[in-house]
Chains A and B, each alone.
Chain A
Amino acid sequence: MSNALKNVKVAPNSATLAEARHRVFDFFKTACRSLPTVMHIYNLDDVTSISELRSTVASEIRKNSHVTNPKVIDMLLFKAFEELKNVVDMAKQRHHIIGQYVVGKQGLVQDRATKDQGISPFLKNFYNSNYS
């Protein structure tokens, strides 16, 4: 794998918060660079796009942005690398990826494919309301 995910060893604990921050950005860059592979192996082209996945990863990172202890950050990074490795090695399946990372706030998959263009607008608005 070009991102060398297999060679990731557990680094010794970061000494300072700045070093932990640097490692978080490195993880984010590695994740973003492996996104095209993920899109390809799980056939996610009709469900989402690379920018959406990238913003999902960024929001997951932002959920833990209040942490200040470098050791806790290291632990979170360890879990994040493990999750990324599982995703890239295809140890997960498509419905895992869709359920965990693609489904938006409405709880539904937003359609991006062109397969829906033939359907009537009644069916498209069916989930929203019955009386549109």
Chain B
Amino acid sequence: MTMMNNRKRPKELSDKCHVILDRVLSTTCFILIYELAIFFFRRHALISNQIIHPSVPISCYTYYSMASSSVSATFLGFAPSLTLSSKSAHQVSSRFGAVSVGWSRRSFPSLRSSRFRIYAAQPETVDKVCEIVRKQLALPPESQLTPETTFTALGADSLDTVEIVMGLEEEFGISVEEQSSENITCIKEAADLIEKLLQNKPPSS
């Protein structure tokens, strides 16, 4: 009986330890996730310039609680193996590293797509511009219009150029300012300017 008791008590004790460990570990993980959620929510609010409650600053409290909860989680996660110090340090740094990589990854895709969109003028825009130019200058339909032909080469004077720009304004629903309308000399520049204005324009209802 005593032998069995001796065998039983460490089991009970280890079982209790395991149960306690499980509970504490789960709560710590829950706290960690909660802190991460709060942290990202505040960061998102800061980035999008929304109003956040100024009482709790984002930096000190959440960082400290995150750090403490993550450290404690790793502590308890590795408690059975009893090798705490170096592994927990690695885990904390890797966890933070994963978080920082996640942030930088968020900002990349929009930058890449917007950069691609600026340089290419779509062919249907160029076609529409050519159509308007042809109708304005009364060109015969078989005349060729490359994107690089200037308006003066087609026989347009300055008033014709302004009229072409006005026609483009009406067609695409954009509004060209003064300084950019002076520089339009060829079809390609007009198409690029239209593309840029169509991007920057807020979506109309």
Contact = CB atoms under 8 A, between A and B. Distances in A.
Interface of A: 21, 25, 28-29, 32-33, 36, 50-51, 54-55, 58, 61-62, 65
Give the size category of B's interface with A. 10 to 19
Contacts, number: 32
B158 A21 contact: yes
A50 B159 CA distance: 17
B89 interface: no
B142 interface: no
A32 B158 contact: no
A21 B162 CA distance: 12
B162 A25 contact: yes
A73 to B, nearest CB: 13
A61 B159 contact: yes
A65 B162 CA distance: 15
Interface of B: 135, 158-160, 162-163, 166-167, 169-170, 175
A28 B162 contact: yes
Given A21-B158, A25-B158, A58 B163 contact: yes
B158 A29 contact: no
A29 B163 CA distance: 8
Given A33-B175, A54-B167, 12 more contacts: A21-B158, A25-B158, A25-B159, A28-B159, A28-B163, A28-B166, A32-B163, A32-B170, A51-B135, A58-B159, A58-B160, A61-B159
B166 A32 contact: yes
B159 A55 contact: no
A44 to B, nearest CB: 15
Contacts of A28: 159, 162-163, 166
A32 B169 contact: yes
A129 to B, nearest CB: 27
Contacts of A54: 163, 166-167
Nearest to A58: B163
A4 to B, nearest CB: 14
Nearest to B162: A25
Contacts of B175: 33
A33 B169 CA distance: 9
Identify the interface centre among A25, A36, A61: most chain B CB within 10 Å of its CB: A25
